[in-house]
Structure formats: C-alpha cells, structure tokens
Amino acid sequence: MKYLKSIWAERTPGYNDEYQPIFSKLANKSNEGGDNDEKALETGKIFATQYEMYIYAFFTGLYTNEQQGTNNKVTFGHKISEWGKKNRKSGRESFIEIQDFIFISLIMKTDIDFIKLEQASDENEIKKAVTLLIDLMESYANGGLRLLKDKCDSNENYFISSMEAPLNFLLLSTTSTTNENKL
Amino acid sequence: MIINKLTLNNFMCYYGNKTFEFSDGLNIILGHNGDGKSTIFTAFNWIFDQYSDLELAEVFSKKRYSEVLDKENFDVYIECIITQYEEEYKILKSFTVTKNDESPRFSRIKEEIWIKDLNTGEKNLDNRTISKLTQQVFPEAFRNFSMFETETDALKIVEGEKLAELVKNFSNAKYYEKLDEVVESFSERADKQFRRESKADKASIDAIEDIDNKIVVVKREIKKLENSIAEDEKGRDYYSDKISDLVKNFTISEDYKKIEENIKNLNTEIEKARYENKARNRFTDKIFDDFYLLIGFDKIISGFSDKINLLRQEKNKVDNEERDKYAQEKLQLKNGSTPFPPGFPSLEILEEILNDNICKICNSNLEASSKEYINKSIALFKESKKKEKEMEMPIIFPNNFIDEFQIINRSIQLKPEKYSENRIKEEIEFGIQRISGNNSKIAKNLKSISELETEKKELMAKIPNISEEELKNISHNHDRYSIEKDTLVTKIAENKIKLDGKNGHLQELQKTRTKTLSQYKESDFKKATVEVLTLLSEIAKTVKEEQYTIFLKLLSERATIYLKMINVGEITGKIELYKKNEKEVAYKSLNEDDSIRSALEDSGALQISKPLSILFAIADLASETADNENYPMIFDAPTGRYSPDREKEFFKVLKATKKQRIVVTLRFLGADETNTPFVNKDYFQNIEKDKAFFIKRERPFDKDRPETINTEIEIIN
C-alpha cells in the first residue's frame, strides 16, 4: 500500500530566496542534530536548525492564513522525513510527530480531489498531487516568513529581545485573524 | 748525562758513516720531511730501547745494499758516545747484512760497550748489556719525557699515568715508599708472631673473640633500640602537639563546619535555580518539543476530521454506485446469454455429430449446410461463455489514501488543554516569574557565600598552624592522633624495658671481658704492637701523599715560570698540575687570581707552550731530584704556530735552560726552483743556539727508489 504521507515526506520543500537573510539571522546554519542547541545559544540564534524555523514559519503562515507564491525557490536540502528526528546532546527529544501535523494541515487545506486520486492508477497523478501539497506548504511558509521579516524590519531585535519572544509571536499569530494589528 | 756523538753507519737513509757531534747545550737539526729527521729518533730508540721492534730489513741502507755484490756483506751500526759524571761510554749496536739473490741475510745483533774514565783516560770493555747500562745512564722514565718524535707526542704525554709515575719516582715520595715497605714487613712479622702465640692460647683467645662478637651484637641492638625510641618519642611529641592544638580549636572547628554547611546549602540552591532557569529559558524549544506550535491547531484538526469523514462518505457512495453498476451488467449478461434454444442438442452432442458426421436425430449423413449451422452455433456458444467469465468486479479505488488519513486522524493524540492560548500564556508568565525569582535568589546567595567566605578566612586567621583540611576533620583527627600517640607510648615503654635488659647484658659482657683480658696481658701487648705499626704505615702513607702534592706544586710553579718565559708580554695565567685519581695526573689553566682559565682565552701558541713548559719543568725537577743528573731532551720543535718573534723567544728560553737539547725542525728552511732546500740564514742567524746541523738528501735522488737515498750532514752557523 502506498502512503501519501511517505511520498510527501521524501520531498524537500523550499522558500523564496528573499528570506535567506532572515534565515541567516535567526537560525543556525546546520540542519543536523548534535550540539546545535548549544551553538544557537552561543551565537544568539533563535532556532537550532533551519527546518525548525521553516516549521515555525509554516505554522505562522497557516494560522494567519498568509500565503505567498513561490518565486526563486531555495532549499536547505533537508527532506521532511528527517525533520525533528534526532535526539540532541542538550537532551531535547525528537519531534517527528510534527510532520503529521503539517501533513494534516495540508490535507485539510488542499483542494485536491481525493476521490479522484483514490481512483487514479497512474503514478503521475499521485506525484502531481504531492507537488500540489508541497506548493501549498511552501506558500504558507513563505507567508509566515514574510510576517517574520516584516517584524524584524520594524524591530530588528524583536526575536532576540527575550527568550519568550518567538513564542509570543506565535501566540499572536493564532489570534491575528481576529485582530490584524497584532502581528 | 750528555750525548756527545751519534754515528749512523749504513743506517736507513744515512749511507756510509755519518756522525753528529753534539754540543752539551742547544743543538738544532734542520731538515725537510724525508731528509732523515725521524731516523735520528729511530737510531736513539734502537740503541736505548731493548723493546724496540724494528725489523732489521727496514734498518740497513738500501743504497749500500745496491752497491755490494752477491754474497758480499757490510756492517750496519749505531754508535753513541755519552758521558755521565766522570765516565764516558761508547755504546755500539750492530749487525751485518749479506747480499743474497732472493733476500738479504742478517747476522745476530752485536752489542758492545766501552767505558772510559775521563780523569785517567783508561778504557775498559763493559760487560753489561746496553739495556742494563741504559737503566743507569738514561732510565726509561726520563726517556719518556725526553724524546718526542712529533709535536703532538709532547702535548699528549704531560698528563695521565706516565706523568703520575714520574711524579712518584722523582718526588720525595719514593723514600716514604720504602718506609711503607718496612712497616708492612714488620707488621706482617708481628702479626705472624701474634698468631703463632695465639694458637697456644687458642681457648682463651676464642673466649675473648666470642665476647667481642657478642658485645658487637649487643651494642648494635642497643643502638637500634635507642634510635627507635628517639624516633618514636619525636612522633609521640608531634601527636601530642597536634592533639592539644585540636582541642584548643574545637569551637572554631564547629563554627567552621557551620559556615561550610551554609555555603554548601547556598551553592546547592544556586545550582538548582540555575538548572531550572536553563530549562525554563527554553521557550523556543517548547514550541517544538512540547508542541506549543499546536496552539491554533484545534480548528485545523477539526476541519481535517470533518474532511476525512466527508471523503469517507463520498468514497463509500462512489463505491456502492460502482458495485451496483457491475451487478446489473452481470445480470444482463446472464439473462441474455443462452446461445442454444430449448430442445437444441447440448454442446457435447453437437461436437459428436460433427465428429461422426452423422445426425444423431435423423441418423443420416450431415449435409454441408447443416455442418455450417452447427459450427456457427458452437462458436456463438463459446463466445458467450467467454464474456461471462470476463465480467468480474473491477478495482474501483487502486489507492487507499483516505484510509491512511483516517488512520492518522485516529492515531494522533492531541491534548488541546495543553496547547491552549491561556495555558501557554500562563506558562510563559510563570516561567518568567520563576526565572526572575531564581535570578534574585542566585544573586542573594552569591552575596551570602562571599560574606561567609570572609568569615571563614577570619576564622582561619586565628589558627595559622592548622590547615582547613585538618580543621574540617578535627574530631576524626583527634581520635586518629590519640590512637597513634597511644601506640607510640606503648612501644616506647616496651623498648625502654628491652633497652634496660640489653644494657645490663652489655655490662655483664664487658665485665667478663675485662676479667678474661687481665689474664692475657701479653697477648694484648702484641696486639698493640701491630696497631702501632699499622699507625706508622698510615703516617707514611700520609707523608708520601704530602710529598707527592709538594712535588706537583713545585712542578706547577716551575711550569708556570717556563710558560711566562716562552710567552713574554702575554697574559699567560698559571699552570696547575693535580692528582686526577690514584693513577693519573692532569693539568689545568688558571688565571692569576686562581680562577679557572678558559682555553678560549689562549692563543694557539700559548696552548702549545703549556705542555712544553710542563716538560721543561719535569726535566728540571727530575734532574734536581735524581742526584742532580741532567738528561738531554730530543724533540721535534712545536713552533709551527709561533710568530717569528715568539719562535725566537722559544729558542732563547731553550738555550737559557743550559741543558742539552736536541731539536729537529723544518723551520728556517726554504727551497729553490729545483726543490733543493736551503737555510734561510737571515732568519736563522737570529736564533740562539749552540750548534746547528743541516741534513738533506744527496742530489739527485728518486724518492721512490731507496737505493738512491743518502742523507748528508752539514754543520752550519
């Protein structure tokens, strides 16, 4: 039996290259496990890995319903199935379940005709559907990244001003649909 | 001893009869390499050294040999005329060479000594061997310091065993050596006598020896016990002091412990607070690890569930429709698929009719048209059967993603209460509060610790003799020290009892010994004789040593005088000869203030003149100590590194010693265009000397053909 999630998780999503500076600003360069958490602390980064920031941006975009189409796509070369997989030196646990939550979000939000997809015997049909899921994912991530960038543009040190700032920002994103000014 | 004449007859490069008539002062022999300088040394060695290992085949003149006819012979000899005191000795050492086809033949070596009384002119044949005579006229010890064939020989010889031997021979030490022998011989005799008598009183001697042995053992035991007691008493006092210190400081110790305990508790609290802060500070980590990301996820998940349910329903609907469609088609096919009308024969009968070609109904042969009809009917029948077979249920959904979604939907376990906005806000607020609370706690504790540390230091300042470690373990140490002290006290008491016993035993033994000894006074006296003799021997040894040192001191002083004489106008420092070990003598250079002088401070010439000065000093002192006898010195002049002025000075000193010196050298010589040597007279006439010889090979010659070589001697001014 083919699993759509498995096929999807083998892909490496990207983001628009205009957000590369904000990745450099807020995330450790590496995507491996190891001592990235300590490194992030030492170097003043918010996110231990690039994909953590990507997930964060995705959910921000999702909750605020911010989407932005792909334009000059760049990736950080780390496929979804690897995200949150490794245990860290700092004692952090793996968080691969987050892959499920992203997938659920995409299935919930996509317009793909799943009844038709269930009936498709052509492999290409499935691939096309997965590409649509990735496009949607990138669209939310880009949307979230735009919000992050806007925040940094207005307040350069916002995310490093306090340890709880990134969490606060996320909190605000969940309520932004009701109050546009918060973010 | 003076060497008056040296005659070489057909000896090596000296063809025919050649004579050096030496002055009793400074003789200089000039000669180039290969012209016969070394032969002079060889000649002296051959005649004076009985161990000279010269091969006769090497010694005779090849030129002379080339001239004689086969079976003819000629004499080879060295004749040396020397004077010592009032006597003149003519020493002759010779052999005969006979020419032979294959190789020359040699006679036995002949030695002859003539002695002439210089006062009466009377001549007599001396029956001694040359070596015997040599021991008298030119002893080996002197020869060692008189003849140096090369520059370096002289430099090497002034140190080491040979010099040590010479110092021993010519210092007054040798007289004490005799005393040593006398004392030794007396001691031996006395010892023998004593032992002989002892045998007579063996039992009593044994008794004393036995007592002596016992006394030695007991004394050793007493010493051991005394040492042990002294050692243990030190230990006991050490522990006593420690204990009294500790007792004095019990209160301080208690205070110290309290401070330590407080610091420890404060540090534990700091550690806890820091640990908690570290965990609480990780708000960003919690976004992922604790799924705070799902804060707005409830809408998504419910939307997802709804969507899955809808999809499920839709899929079921499509599924049902497809199944119905199939069932209907199948039924249709079934209903209209019978190819043979009722009453028509079965397929088997039809095939049999075709096979037999006879109609089973009418029993007649089949007509072609009938045959065709049957064939068509069979084909139709088979076609209909095939369709029925193919009409199976088709796969409606090759994929099963909706099932997958449903499984995911069921498996995820959300705890919305954990990710609710309020809950997370509370968490953040609480975390921040805790962190700030912890931070103030840490600051407060650090301040307290610093205060306590000061308090601790003040406390420690009151007891400078006790370490913190000791203070911490004061009660433990008190117990430990008490145990150690008690152990030592017990041991001391036991040993003292043992010591009393041993001392008593010793007194007993000594009493017994005195009693026994009083019965054998005579033996005691004999023992004392040996002791006196031994003492005498030791005194002799000491004196000998002193004499040795005195001689070395004299030698050093004399060598320094020569050194200064040879190197006028230069800062030379001093030479000091010293006993390197029992067998060797060495020398070192000192500055005027007796500090060690580095060889780097000396010029090359000064370095060479040091061993030479020692040699001159040896020659002087040896002659002074050996019945005022002088010995000639024959050496290759080590002036290669001297400036002309220094060289001139060197020969001046040499002449001033007023002793016979025979110096061979290639200095003062030049060579013309035909390589014929000549004497640089301008230079040489400024050199002080008593007599000079110039030796050179007769021209023409071929250095590769020995039969062309003949050295000639010329006396020059």
Express each pLDDT in B208-253 by its tens digit: 788 888 988 998 999 999 999 989 988 998 888 888 877 777 778 8
Q: Does B420 touch chain A (CB under 8 A)?
A: no
Mean pLDDT on A16-44:
72
Q: Domain-by-domain residue ranges, chain B?
A: 1-138+631-717, 266-461
Task: Inform me whether the pLDDT recorded for B69 exceeds 50.
Answer: yes
Omega cis (within 30) before B700: yes
B402 to A118: CB separation less than 8 angstroms, yes or no: yes
State which of B290-294, B343-347, B492-496, B655-659 shows the largest mean pLDDT: B492-496
Task: Inform me whether the pLDDT recorded for B51 exceeds 70.
Answer: no
The radius of gyration computed from the CA coordinates of chain B, to the nearest angstrom, equals 64
Other residues' Cβ atoms within 10 Å of the Cβ of residue B608: 22
Nearest-Cα distance to chain B for A106, in Å, is 9
A164 to B400: CB separation less than 8 angstroms, yes or no: no
Computed over every residue of chain B, the mean pLDDT equals 83
Where does the pLDDT of residue B710 fall: very low under 50, low under 70, confident under 90, or very high at 90 and above? very high
Burial of B389 (0-12, 13-18, 19+ CB in 10 A): exposed
Mean pLDDT on B346-372:
81
What confidence tens digit (pLDDT) does each residue in B378-415 have? 887 777 777 666 666 778 888 999 999 999 988 887 77
Other residues' Cβ atoms within 10 Å of the Cβ of residue B76: 25
A100 to B396: CB separation less than 8 angstroms, yes or no: no
Cβ-contact B173, B553 below 8 angstroms? no
Where does the pLDDT of residue B355 fall: very low under 50, low under 70, confident under 90, or very high at 90 and above? confident
Length in residues, chain A: 183
B359 vs B108, more confident: B108
Rounded to an integer, what distance in angstroms lies between the CA atom of residue B364 and that of residue B370?
11
CA A21, A22, A28, A30 torsion-angle sign: negative
Q: What is the pLDDT of residue A182?
A: 42
DSSP classification of residue B365:
B
A59 vs B contacts (CB less than 8 Å): 293, 296
Rounded to an integer, what distance in angstroms lies between the CA atom of residue B707 and that of residue B703?
9
In angstroms, the Cα distances linking B635 to B143, B307, B612, B624 are 11, 126, 10, 21
DSSP per residue over A40-108, as a string? HHHHT-SBSSHHHHHHHHHHHHHHHT------SEEE-S--GGGTT-S-BTTSPPP-THHHHHHHHHHHH
In angstroms, the Cα distances linking B458 to B65, B249, B447, B453 are 110, 14, 17, 9
Nearest Cβ partner of B412 from A2, A3, A100? A100
Q: Which two tokens stand for residue B299?
A: 């809408």
A171 vs B contacts (CB less than 8 Å): 295, 421, 424-425
Strand partners, B590: B574, B596
B297 vs A contacts (CB less than 8 Å): 101, 105
What confidence tens digit (pLDDT) does each residue in B478-517 have? 888 889 999 999 999 999 999 999 999 998 988 887 777 6
Q: Does B418 touch chain A (CB under 8 A)?
A: no
Mean pLDDT on B285-295:
84
Element (H, E) at B17: strand B14-21
For A60-92, b/e burial (b = at least 16 CB within 10 A) is bbbbbebbbeeeeeeebebebebbbebebebeb
B307 vs A contacts (CB less than 8 Å): 107-108
Rounded to an integer, what distance in angstroms lies between the CA atom of residue A153 and that of residue B221?
97
CA angle B264, B265, B266 (to 5 degrees): 90
Rounded to an integer, what distance in angstroms lies between the CA atom of residue A122 and that of residue A124?
5
State which of B201-205, B554-558, B639-643 shows the largest mean pLDDT: B554-558
A166 to B408: CB separation less than 8 angstroms, yes or no: no
Mean pLDDT on A54-60:
93
Write out residues 136-165 of A within 8 Å (CB-CB) of B. 163-164
Where does the pLDDT of residue B417 fall: very low under 50, low under 70, confident under 90, or very high at 90 and above? confident
Rounded to an integer, what distance in angstroms lies between the CA atom of residue B277 and that of residue B534?
92
Nearest Cβ partner of A108 from B287, B288, B304? B304
Nearest Cβ partner of B283 from A120, A164, A173? A164
Q: Domain-by-domain residue ranges, chain A?
A: 4-175
Write out residues 50-89 of A within 8 Å (CB-CB) of B. 52, 55-56, 59, 62-63, 84
Share of chain A above pLDDT 90, in %: 44
Cβ-contact B669, B680 below 8 angstroms? yes
A47 vs B contacts (CB less than 8 Å): 284
Among left, alpha and beta (phi > 0; psi -120 to 50; other), residue A91 is: left
Task: Inform me whether the pLDDT recorded for B418 exceeds 90.
Answer: no
Q: What is the pLDDT of residue A18?
A: 93
State which of A88-102, B76-90, B499-513, B616-630 shows the largest mean pLDDT: B76-90
Other residues' Cβ atoms within 10 Å of the Cβ of residue B133: 19
Q: What is the pLDDT of residue B579?
A: 83
The radius of gyration computed from the CA coordinates of chain A, to the nearest angstrom, equals 17
Task: Inform me whether the pLDDT recorded for B27 exceeds 90.
Answer: yes
Nearest-Cα distance to chain A for B334, in Å, is 28
Rounded to an integer, what distance in angstroms lies between the CA atom of residue A143 and that of residue A56?
11
Q: What is the pLDDT of residue B331?
A: 74
Q: What is the pLDDT of residue A179?
A: 41
What confidence tens digit (pLDDT) does each residue in B129-181 have? 898 898 888 887 777 777 776 666 666 666 677 777 777 766 666 666 666 66
A5 to B428: CB separation less than 8 angstroms, yes or no: no
Rounded to an integer, what distance in angstroms lies between the CA atom of residue B547 and that of residue B657?
25
CATH T-level assignment (fold) for domain B1-138+631-717 = Rossmann fold (3.40.50)
B185 vs B227, more confident: B227
A44 vs B433, more confident: B433
Other residues' Cβ atoms within 10 Å of the Cβ of residue B352: 13
Question: Coil, helix or strand for B663?
Answer: strand
Place of tokens 């001033």: B656
Rounded to an integer, what distance in angstroms lies between the CA atom of residue B203 and that of residue B205?
6
A119 to B404: CB separation less than 8 angstroms, yes or no: no
A108 vs B contacts (CB less than 8 Å): 300-301, 303-304, 307
Q: Are strands B147-148 and B633-636 parallel, antiparallel or unpaired?
A: parallel
Element (H, E) at B579: strand B574-579
Nearest Cβ partner of B404 from A5, A93, A171? A5
Least confident of A60-69, B135-144, B287-296, B696-705: B135-144
Contacts of B684 (CB under 8 A, 6+ apart): B30, B668, B692, B716
Share of chain B above pLDDT 90, in %: 30
Q: Which two tokens stand for residue B613?
A: 């000065």
Rounded to an integer, what distance in angstroms lies between the CA atom of residue B94 and that of residue B59?
11
What confidence tens digit (pLDDT) does each residue in B265-276 have? 999 999 999 888
A36, A88, A108, A175: best to mutate for the B interface, most B CBs within 10 A: A108
For B346, phi and psi rounded to 5 degrees? -75, 170
Q: How many helices (H) and strands (E) does chain B have?
A: 23, 17
What confidence tens digit (pLDDT) does each residue in A131-176 have? 999 999 999 999 999 999 999 899 888 887 777 788 888 888 777 6
What confidence tens digit (pLDDT) does each residue in B544-602 have? 788 888 888 988 999 999 888 888 777 888 999 888 776 778 888 888 888 888 777 77
Among left, alpha and beta (phi > 0; psi -120 to 50; other), residue A44 is: left
Beta strands in B646-708 (DSSP E): 661-665, 669-671, 677-679, 691-697
DSSP per residue over B113-137, as a string? EEEEETTT--EEEE-S-HHHHHHHH
